[in-house]
Structure 1
Amino acid sequence: MKKHFIIGLGILLVLSTSTLSALAASKPEVDAQFQNWLANDLWPDAKTAGISKAVFDQAFAGVSPNLDLPDLILPGEKPKTPKKQAQSEFGSPGKYFNDKTINATTAGGVARAGQYARTLKAVESKYGVPGEIVLAVWGRESGYGSVKIPNNAFTVLGTKAFLASRKEMFRKELMAALEIVQKGYIDAGAMKSSWAGALGQPQFMPTSYLQHAVDFDGDGKRDIWNSVPDTLGSIGHYLKQYGWQAGRDWGYEVTVPETVSCSLEGPDQGKLFSAWEQLGITRVNGKAFPSSEMKREGFLLMPAGRHGPAFIVTKNFYVLKEYNMSDLYALFIGHIGDRIAHGAKGFSTGWGDVGGLYRSDIASMQKTLEKQGYDAGGADGFPGFKTRRSIGAWQTKQGMEPTCFPDNALVKAIR
């Protein structure tokens, strides 16, 4: 019979799978094991890393595991097998740009553009990132600081470093959080995080905080929880460090003629702006691409394939993706920035009535495409640019008009 091993307070129990779930550790047992782990496992590493005992004790004073956090494996439980994505629906990309969210984020940004104009100008002068882009990130991440961030970071990170399926990742973040306190950037009790361990108004993980957070108000602290200048400066510094190119826009909404395949999308298929123009791609507002861009590289972006708006984006778009690896996130930030700065309206092309598929359907299609030699970017159930252009290439090979986006008919056809 297959056996499972549980280690609790130095006692090794050998249990059969039939009795395992009933004998998973209780909350008091987990608390005791956590304290044992802090003292005998984490503290030696923290001490070696230069963390003082005073800081360590301050950070974990009164801290016990929060068993309501997601993605935990309690002592005595089998590691959870990822559930099939059968009940997880993938909606239309247009849902990401619902009017309520767009209008609220835009209005908040416009108001704060005037309120913090001097700080935003200083951020742009130092890091080259336009104030409206910094505002859009701030608005998306924490509602311009209005979203409550109630969790004790050491409770969240400690729990996840002890019990999560990705222990090593969270242990690294926990050690970074201790370093933040050790260096005096913030007091341990004031370090609040999301349920995932992201810190403050810009929502930096602790390792990102150490790399990117700045003291922009000059008070000697990198206070991204309470200081607006530190928050704005830290966002600008983050984007600058990831390669934001001053003086360039993030991208332009365009019209893509039917003669240009949507399978040309992606950051690895760039062309000079002049080359895109020669293919017949034009801006939807009738203006020419900036002359400064014509000899620089641009990239086709079609987040819903032929079922939605299209863009030629610059490298700055992919810098925005470093904040959140989602095309829709980066597009949201760029679009909100345009609305704040220029009073821009919605996209000229609407989002088609696509979506309603289960992620498991998309994952199955991705697996089939990869078996047929296409690079769909893995089978994660999300139609990223590699999946979209693989669909387009498959459609072209079948003699179909490429749409570059999954639908029910395609899921059934690509088997």
Structure 2
Amino acid sequence: MRKILTVAGAALLMLSGSAMAQTVDPNRAAQADPEGAFQSWLQTFRTRALQEGISPATLDRELSNLELSERTIELDRRQPDVGPGRSLYSDYIARRLTQPRIDGGVRLYPQVAPTLEKAEAEYGVPGEIVLAIWGMETSYGAVTGNFDVVRSLASLAFDGRREALFTKELVAALKIIDANDASRSRMTGSWAGAMGNSQFLPTSYLTYAVDFDGDGHPNIWGSESDTIASIANYLKQNGWQRGGEWAIPVNVPQSLNREAVRNPTPPTKCVAVMEKHSRWMPISEWKKLGVAAEEGRTLPSDDTLATLLEVDGEGTGAHLTFQNYRALLDYNCSNFYALSVGQLADEIAARTQ
């Protein structure tokens, strides 16, 4: 799905899983008069938006003079649902876990430490995990994307490859504007609609964004406090367990029978990613099979459930992953992403605590 985790790539992976299975491809943008067809589509969409409760004034203002973004559609159609080539985590992490990214998190940590502590107290997510997501998504706000989110979402919904998905996101974006939580000019982001420091899609903003600084509006674009709390709330609402591990690097004996620990239930969400995970087993069972934490690491209690992940296949870097790892996958459906967030968090914690 992505080669280097760009802002655009992050957006697509947040759209992956079951939503990707809804793909249809009428390719409306290939019509003889795509702009004219787009304007007709906007009129039809306006009827739905009114039914969703968006005010006529907002729709008149934001949809008038809205032009089709052929660039957005071009970028979307360059993205295969499944990458044609095999990439290795070792190559990926070398590009992502860079010294500037680690240093950026270390520098930012003391500046926002009180907010991180407050957010951890409320949501249970460690500050270094929150910073690591912020760092991986947008380099701590340095690279958030400059596409007009409303225009991009309207163009993608019109094009039709994933019409239901992007129409829903467009409605959510207009609801944000209608509620005066953000102006359209503020709502810039990736070509796929991910916005702000946290790279939330509009529906995620409506569900998870938090007004943590008390100014009346969740601001994931310009407020460090709101960004931190919104990321933490996202993880909590998607299963993050207070005080739990995310993953532990382990050594796997050559004698391990992978077929015996294979997950017998085919995944229905995040399929290609979850197929790399074993079935859930308690730590006590993994120990009996000879799986042991790498030197300097400690496994949690024997009753803790874990899956085995060998990210690049049998005999490659192995981890036992826990419930909190699944919360990271909910943020972005990629084993590479989840592992890189956890490793960046570990690097930040080692240098700040």
Q: Indicate whether the TM-score tops 0.5.
A: yes
Aligned residues: 310
Find the aligned partners of 1:84 and 1:189 in 2 and give their Cα distance. Answer: 30
Of the three residues 99, 102, 108, the one matched with 1:103 is: 99
1:148, CA displacement in angstroms?
4.1
Q: Secondary structure at the match of 1:258?
A: coil
Quote the residue 1:35 is aligned against. Answer: 39
Aligned residue number for residue 269 of structure 1: 279
Which residue pairs with 1:64 in the alignment?
Answer: 67
* Post-superposition offset of 1:241: 0.1
2:345 aligned to 305, 328, 337, which one? Answer: 337
Question: How do 1:283-322 residues align onto structure 2 when only pairs under 5 Å count?
Answer: 283-290=293-300, 293-322=301-330
Matched, 1:324 2:327: no
One-letter amino acid of the structure 2 residue matched with residue 280 of structure 1: G
* Secondary structure in 2 matching 1:184: coil
* Structure 1 counterpart of 2:190: 194
The CA distance in 2 between the partners of 1:327 and 1:121, in whole Å, is 27
| 1:14-42 C-alpha deviation (Å, 9 max, x unpaired) | xxxxxxxxxx645xx33233222222x01
Q: Corresponding residue for 1:150?
A: 146
- Indicate the percent of aligned positions where both proteins have the same amino acid: 36
| Cα distance in 2, alignment partners of residues 288 and 69 from structure 1 | 47
Distance of 2:230 and 2:194 partners within structure 1: 14
* Distance in 2 between residues matched to 1:243 and 1:140, nearest whole Å: 20
> TM-score normalised to the size of structure 1?
0.69
Contact map agreement 1:72 1:164 (CA 8 A) in 2? no
- Tell me if the contact between 1:161 and 1:170 (Cα under 8 Å) persists in the aligned partners: yes
Distance across 2 between alignment mates of 1:268 and 1:83: 26
Q: Distance in 2 between matches of 1:98 and 1:38?
A: 44
Show CA shifts across 1:43-76 (max 9, x none).
1111111111111122224320011123589xxx
**Shift in Å at residue 154 of structure 1?**
1.0
Unmatched 5+ residue regions in structure 1? 1-23, 74-79, 345-415
2:306 is paired with a residue whose SS is strand
Q: Would the aligned equivalents of 1:303 and 1:309 in 2 still touch at CA under 8 Å? A: yes
Distance in structure 2 (CA, Å) of the matches to 1:338 and 1:52: 46
Amino acid at match of 1:175: V
Contact 1:72/1:163 (8 A) holds in 2: no
Match of 2:268 in 1: none
Give me the whole-angstrom Cα distance separating, in 1, the residues matched to 2:238 and 2:137.
Answer: 18
Q: Check 1:179–1:122 CA distance in 2 against 1; reply closer, same or farther (3 A cut).
A: same
User: Kindly tell me: are residues 161 and 96 of structure 1, through their superposed partners in 2, closer, same or farther at Cα, counting changes over 3 Å?
Assistant: same
Structure number with the bigger relative contact order (C-alpha 8 A, sep ≥ 6) is: 2
Change (3 A) 1:63 1:136: same
- 1:279 aligned partner: 289
**Superposed CA offset, 1:163-222 (max 9, x none):** 141112111111111111122211222211211111111111111111111111111111
- Which residue identity does 1:50 align to in structure 2? G
Task: Give per-residue Cα distances to partners, 1:78-129, cap 9 Å, x unaligned.
Answer: xx9x9898x9432222111106643222111111111110111111111000
Compute the TM-score of the two structures, normalised by the length of structure 2: 0.81
Question: Please, which runs of 5 or more residues in structure 2 have no aligned partner?
Answer: 1-29, 263-275
CA separation of 1:83 and 1:277: change in aligned 2, threshold 3 A: closer
The offset of 1:269, in angstroms, is: 1.1
Q: Which amino acid aligns with 1:110?
A: V
Supply the AA of the counterpart residue of 2:61: Q
Task: Give the distance between the partners of 2:241 and 2:75, measured in 1 at CA.
Answer: 40
Which of 44, 54, 57 matches 2:57?
54
Opposite residue 73 of structure 2, the aligned amino acid is P
Hey, what's the Cα distance between the residues in 2 that align with 1:51 and 1:57? 10
Partner of 2:8: none
**Alpha-carbon distance in structure 2 between the residues aligned to 1:343 and 1:308:** 27
Q: What is the SS of the residue equivalent to 1:257?
A: coil
Structure 1, residues 349-380: CA drift from partner, whole Å, max 9, x if none? xxxxxxxxxxxxxxxxxxxxxxxxxxxxxxxx
- Give how far 1:287 is off: 4.7
Whether the 8 Å contact between 2:73 and 2:159 is mirrored in structure 1 is no
Provide the residue aligned with 1:259 in structure 2.
255
Alignment correspondent of 2:167? 171
Output the amino acid matched with 1:334: G
Report if the CA contact (8 A) 2:73-2:156 is conserved: no
Aligned 8 A contact 2:172 2:206 in 1 = yes
The residue aligned with 2:212 is 216
Contact 1:151 1:193 in 2 (8 A): yes
Aligned residue identity for 1:190:
R
- Structure (1 or 2) with the larger CA radius of gyration: 1
2-structure distance, mates of 1:303, 1:140: 19
- Measured in 1, the distance between the counterparts of 2:100 and 2:238 equals 28
In the alignment, the residues of structure 2 paired with residue 61 and residue 101 of structure 1 have an alpha-carbon distance, to the nearest angstrom, of 43
- Tell me: CA distance 1:89–1:115, structure 2 relative to 1, closer, same or farther (3 Å): same
CA distance in 1, matches of 2:212, 2:176: 17
**Is the contact between residue 72 and residue 160 of structure 1 (CA under 8 Å) also seen in structure 2?**
no
Moved more, 299-308 or 221-230: 299-308
- Does the CA contact (< 8 Å) of 1:127 and 1:236 recur in 2? yes
Q: Is the alpha carbon distance of 1:268 and 1:307 closer, same or farther for their aligned partners in structure 2, counting shifts above 3 Å?
A: closer
